[in-house]
Every structure is written in structure tokens, then in C-alpha cells.
Amino acid sequence: MEGKGLIGLLERRRSCRRFTAEKLDRATVDRLLLAAAGAPVGSNRNEDIHITVVEDRAVLDELAVAMRRRRQDAADLRLITEKIPDRNVAVRDGFDPFYGAPVVFFVSHRRQDLQPGIEYSNVMSVAMMMHLQATELGLGSVFMWGSLEAMRMYPEYDRTELLRLPEGFQPLLGLAVGHPAADAEPRELAPDKFGVNRLPE
């Protein structure tokens, strides 16, 4: 039986990689941004976070170029298809790392050396809030790391300037959101999914 509250939401949470072409309305996008505002940020330095909402397919296509280049690496293909077999479609020409989602939120962080590494915690916190809100709204969503990493790997294909970020910011994580192409059945959470130790034992 499907649980209620947070556990029930988590039982429905999925990484969606197939979206319909249906657009999201402005109210839905704003709702996702409101959820992001509920994220904890280290030392309350909210000014270090910036979110870019991209609904322009031409921009997303440009941001996909580096990822298509990365997919030519056979070792990388092994890495990305080993755990998730349905990613084998990635080898096709013209692969879309955003899976046809109508909107992608890019979470950027100000470059800083005050608290090294905290930027990854902060952007994940923000993106997770939107991910859970998408689930609650019956939408699909999936984190976008590979396309940004590919632009760091292949600087000649870096198109991050298209995001028009404030000076000093870098995009660290994306979240593609849209209407899922197929319904996903709730799953039962496994309490032994991760290793755990307890102190005292």
C-alpha cells in the first residue's frame, strides 16, 4: 500500500528520462521556483545561488553539443549504460541529454573559496527541493550533471555563456522537468539500500 506524507512522496519519486512535448505553464514553473526557495543554503548565503530557467530549445541544443562529443568516448558509454540499460539510446546521433524536457532549471553558484566544496551541497539542496515538488505535482524530473561536466571536459564546446549568468557564477547542476511519457508505479523503499552503522552499536 502506498504510504502517505513524505514517505509516500519518496515512493513516487523517479528519475524521468522520457517526457511528452507538453509545455509547463508559468504557474507551474513558479511553483517549482517557490519550492527551491525552501532549500537550506550554507551560512544562509542565498546570494551565492542563481537559477536559470531555460525553455528555449535552441539554447538547450547548443548546451547539448559537448555531451554529444563526450558520448563518442567508448569508456564513457560503458559507464553511463552499465547501471541504466535504457540509456543505450545515448549512442544515437543527435542524442538529447535533456530527454526532450520542455524546461531545464540550471542551478549556479558563485565561485568562492570561503567554504570550499559547499557549493555542491548548496546546489543539490536547491535542485532536490524542485525535484520533490515536481513529483508532488505529478511531473517527471531528472538531474542534469553530464552536460555540464562535458562542457568542462571539452572547453571548446562550452556554451555556458548562453545562460547569461551574473558575473562570477558557474552552473553546477541542472534539473529537467516535464510531463512524463509514462506513468511510474510507486515503489517500496528499501531500508538496506545504503550501508549504515550506528554508534553506539
Which pTM does this prediction carry? 0.90
Question: Could you list the pLDDT tens digit for every one of the 201 residues in the chain?
Answer: 355 799 999 999 999 999 999 999 999 999 999 999 999 999 999 999 999 999 999 999 999 999 988 877 755 555 555 555 444 443 345 689 999 999 999 999 999 998 999 999 999 999 999 999 999 999 999 999 999 999 999 999 999 999 999 999 999 999 999 999 999 899 999 999 999 999 999
Query: Is 141 in a helix, a strand, or coil?
Result: strand
**CATH code of the domain made up of 14-178:** 3.40.109.10
Q: Can you give the residue ranges of every domain in the chain?
A: 14-178
Contacts of 151 (CB under 8 A, 6+ apart): 63, 66, 157, 158, 159, 160
E strand or H helix at 152, and its extent?
helix 146-153
Distance CA 143, CA 145 (A): 6
